[in-house]
Amino acid sequence: MDPVTPETSPPSEAADRVRVLLVDDERLMRAGLRLLVDGTAGITVVGEAGDGAEALVQVAALDPDVVLMDVRMPGTDGLEATRRLQESGARARVVVLTAFDTDDHLLDALRAGAVSFLLKDAPPEAVVAAVHDAARGRATFSPAVLARLVRLAAEPGRPDDVDLPVPGGPADPPDGITPREWEVGRFVAQGLTNGEIAETLFVSTTTVKTHVARLFDKLAVTNRVQLAIRVLEHDAAG
């Protein structure tokens, strides 16, 4: 299942190249990531790090745009490194790329300041898209991760320091949004992909994309995560 990403066009060749730092304790993984993203669609890998402490040094020295950060590493792990980068005011945006997708890892990554959360089984094109989206300040989550955020928001006793909306019962669509558009928005909030929404509603994927694009415009959001939050907030208030 492809990760959830904003409906944006691929960057042009003339666009500024995105400078990326790779952080993973496995050398083979770093080599694979370098082969995947370096020189691809306007991306340049400027350095590597084998743990969080080295990542902090490399960010200070290289000033990358995006850091592809593993979670579990010896010494300073990826979550602590992300937290320290946030506290230091570094401009680099962190994309967590991990094989571990527990609730604790997800929430800790968001608390630490990560902009995106992807699993290591994500398709190569999704990783490339996530790098560009992160450079633009846009979030990317795997569909399963977005669905988990929705579930966590609904659970009683969730941590108060996690800024998640609490969903409620169905509500009428906001002014200017059609019932079908809002239905699509609710499916997005459940973590469904465009293809899955199309199958559920018996429409084409192109039709779903059109509805999503209209929701982006009408709700003044730039990605599916923001759209899901707006849907949940509205339904909770209704």
Are 114 and 229 found together in one domain? no
Q: Does 77 reside within a domain?
A: yes
Q: Can you give the residue range of the structural domain that contains 192?
A: 166-237
Cβ–Cβ under 8 Å, residues 66 and 20: yes
Question: What pLDDT sits at residue 70?
Answer: 93
Residues 179 and 107 in one domain: no
Task: For residue 126, give the CATH number of its domain.
Answer: 3.40.50.2300
DSSP code per residue over 27-93: HHHHHHHHHHHTTSTTEEEEEEESSHHHHHHHHHHH--SEEEE-S--SSS-HHHHHHHHHHHT--PE
Give the model's pLDDT for residue 52. 94
Tell me how far CA of residue 78 lies from CA of 59, 94, 106, 145, 181, in angstroms: 13, 10, 12, 18, 38
Position 13 scores a pLDDT of 45
Cα–Cα distance, 1 to 78 (Å, whole number): 25
CATH number at residue 208: 1.10.10.10
Task: Answer whether residue 44 is part of any domain.
Answer: yes
Residue 186 lies in a domain: yes
Are the C-beta atoms of 6 and 212 separated by less than 8 Å?
no
Question: Is 50 found in the same domain as 105?
Answer: yes
> Do residues 22 and 136 both lie within one domain?
yes
Asked if 174 and 33 touch (Cβ cutoff 8 Å), the reply is: no
Which residues are paired to 21 by β-bridges? Answer: 47, 67
User: For the chain, how many structural domains are there in total?
Assistant: 2
Same domain, 25 and 122: yes
Residues 176, 139, single domain; the answer is no
134 and 217 share a domain? no
Looking at the structure, do residues 34 and 127 belong to the same domain, yes or no? yes
Q: Are residues 27 and 136 in the same domain?
A: yes
Last residue of a domain, one of 115, 145, 175: 145
At 21, phi and psi to the nearest 5?
A: -110, 130
8 part of a folded domain: no
The pLDDT tens digits along the chain (238 residues) read: 455 544 444 444 434 789 999 999 999 999 999 999 998 889 999 999 999 999 999 999 999 999 999 998 999 999 999 999 989 989 999 999 888 767 777 778 877 888 888 888 888 888 998 899 889 877 777 766 766 766 665 554 545 444 444 344 456 888 899 999 999 998 887 777 888 899 999 999 999 999 999 999 998 887 777 787 778 767 766 5
Q: Model pTM? A: 0.64
pLDDT digits (tens, 9 = 90+) for 172-221: 888 899 999 999 998 887 777 888 899 999 999 999 999 999 999 998 88
CA-based radius of gyration for the chain: 18
Whose CA is closest to 5, among 199, 222, 215? 222
Final residue belonging to a domain, choices 112, 145, 178: 145
Residue 165 has a pLDDT of: 42
Tokens of 177: 């949004």
